Amino acid sequence: MKTIEKYLQINEKKIVLIVIDGLGGLPYNEKTELESAETPNLNRLAKISSLGLTIPVDYGITPGSGPAHLALFGYDPEQYEIGRGILEALGIGLEITKDDLCIRANFATIKNGIIIDRRAGRITTEENQRLCALLSSKIKSVSDIEVIIKPGKEHRFVIVLRGKGLNAQVSESDPQKDNLPPKKIQPLTSEAQKTADVLNIFIKQASEILENEWPANYFLLRGYAQHPDLPLISKRYRLKPAAIATYPMYKGIAKLLGMEVLDTQENWEDEIITLQKRYHDFDFFYVHFKETDMKGEDGDFLGKVKLIEKFDALLPEILKLNFDVLCITADHSTPAVLKSHSWHPNPFLLYSPYVLGDGYEKFSERNCAKGSLGIFPQTKVMQLLLAHSLKLKKFGA
Tell me whether the CATH fold assigned to 13-82+230-388 matches the one assigned to 87-225: no
C-beta atoms surrounding 79 within 10 Å:
8
Q: What is the CATH number of domain 87-225?
A: 3.30.70
Ramachandran assignment for 235, one of left (phi > 0), alpha (psi -120 to 50 degrees), beta (any other): alpha
C-beta atoms surrounding 191 within 10 Å:
12
3-class state of residue 157 by DSSP: strand
Q: Which CATH superfamily hosts domain 13-82+230-388?
A: Alkaline Phosphatase, subunit A (3.40.720.10)
User: So where are the chain's domains?
Assistant: 13-82+230-388, 87-225
- Separation of alpha carbons 298 and 248, rounded Å: 20
**Burial bucket for residue 397 (CB in 10 Å: 0-12, 13-18, 19+):** exposed
- Separation of alpha carbons 98 and 225, rounded Å: 10
pLDDT value of residue 2:
65
Chunked mean pLDDT (size 10), the chain, 397 residues: 83 98 97 98 98 97 94 94 86 89 96 96 96 97 96 94 95 94 96 96 97 96 89 95 94 92 95 98 98 96 98 98 98 97 98 97 98 98 98 90
Helix (H) or strand (E) holding 308: helix 301-319
pLDDT value of residue 266:
87
Among 40, 49, 11, 9, CA closest to 327: 49
Ramachandran assignment for 22, one of left (phi > 0), alpha (psi -120 to 50 degrees), beta (any other): left
- Separation of alpha carbons 117 and 259, rounded Å: 35
3-class state of residue 47 by DSSP: helix
Sign of CA dihedral 204, 136, 102, 262: positive
- Separation of alpha carbons 192 and 170, rounded Å: 6
> Which residues make Cβ contacts (< 8 Å) with residue 6, sequence separation at least 6?
none
- Separation of alpha carbons 64 and 378, rounded Å: 14
Question: What's the pTM value of the predicted model, to 2 decimals?
Answer: 0.83
